[in-house]
Structures are given as structure tokens and as C-alpha cells.
Amino acid sequence: MRQIQPDVWETDTEAPFPGLTTHAYLLTREQGNVLFYNTRHKADIDQMAELGGVDHQLLSHEDEVGEGMNHLAQRHGTQLWGHVAEQAAFARVRTPDHTFDQRQTVLGNIELIPTPGHSPGSTCFLVESPLGQRYLFTGDTLFINRQNRWTAGFIASVHTEENRTLLADSLRLLRTLEPDVVFGSAFTGDHGFEVMTGDRWPEAVDQALERLLR
């Protein structure tokens, strides 16, 4: 793991599919640490103990479901969160301790923002860090591609036109936010997050939306 913000740690890279890489992100907090996404790296899960453990794990969508959820629960007693629409995927590994289906704030400073399109229960997470930064975790709703551009998680061979419409609406919602740092889940470029300055975020979303609807 490596520290990338004063209160955010990035797990080691994983490659679930050729050309696709992922990270999970640990947010350290006085009121209990939170892991966004999932990791299979047991060494990282063990190292999290040195950072205060993992009280909660928030998954952005069904593609992140995996055995790491059980390792986290066994090692840290981690409470698992997921969207109700992803229940079938969760059932393969572990039933969530907490489910949700609407926009709301939980755990003090984490806003759950359902953003359907990539999957029925895709959800983004907006965190108001007490250190002054606003973090946005986009899962695969938006990710960094090979050209190191943010792009929508639409796969033409898998998704339908309804998915495209839902995803476009989700991107328009995300554009209204003002994140300082954005963390994707999967990525095909050479990094999975970006620090936003100036008008970078609305420009990035506009470009992704244009490519989605092209």
C-alpha cells in the first residue's frame, strides 16, 4: 500500500482482466476507517491493521464482489455496505451488513450517490474530509482510460441503450459536484485517481459524456 493523501491509502495493483487494473482505497478517520472498493491482497489487508483496521467497506458495484470481503471481515470485523440492486452478486460471497437504494449521508461524512448505468446498483461516494479535501469515489461509472482521460463505464458489447441513457444521467449528476480528488476503481491508463484543479472536473465529465453519446 502507499499513502496518496494525508488520510487516503491506495492498495497494490490488481489485474482481474488483461489490460484492466484496479485499486482499493482506505480512508483513515478518527471515527473508524473505511475501505472503498475491494482487494484480494492479504498483505494489504494485514497492513491495514497498522493503520487502525477497517470498520466499514463500501462497494461501488457488483464487479467488486470477491473473497477479499471475507478476509476483511475475518481480520478486522469489517461491516459491508452495498446497493440493494446488487444483492444477487453479493450472495455469491457475503451478505452485506448494510444496504441502501437512495442518496443519503452515512457514517458522518460519506454521501452515497446512486449512479446507475454501468450496473443497476452502481454507486459513487462523496467524502467531506475533515482535512479540507472533498473526495469522490466513482467506481466504474467514470474511470481513466488508456489515453488517461476520464470515460464512462459503458461497454457496447454488454450494455444496452437504456444503460447509456441511465449512465448519461448519472454523469450529469456527478458534474454538479466539486471534488478535489477523484478515485476510480478499475482503470486502463497508468493511474486510477486524479487531483482536480480549476475547471478540470466539469471538463472531464463533459468530455466523457460527449464520448458516451457520440
CATH 2.40.37.10 is held by the domain 2-213: no
pLDDT digits (tens, 9 = 90+) for 151-188: 998 888 889 999 999 999 999 999 999 999 999 998 87
Pairing of strands 20-22, 14-17: antiparallel
Mean pLDDT rounded to a whole number for the chain: 94
Q: How confident is the model at residue 18 (pLDDT cuts 50, 70, 90)?
A: low
pLDDT of residue 114: 97
Cβ 81 vs Cβ 73: under 8 Å: no
Residues in CB range of 70: below 8 A, 6 or more apart:
93, 94
pLDDT digits (tens, 9 = 90+) for 114-154: 999 999 999 999 999 999 999 999 999 999 888 889 999 88
Query: What is this structure's pTM?
Result: 0.95
For residue 19, is pLDDT > 70?
Answer: no
**Given phi > 0 = left and psi -120 to 50 = alpha, else beta, which region is 30?**
alpha
Element (H, E) at 169: helix 161-175
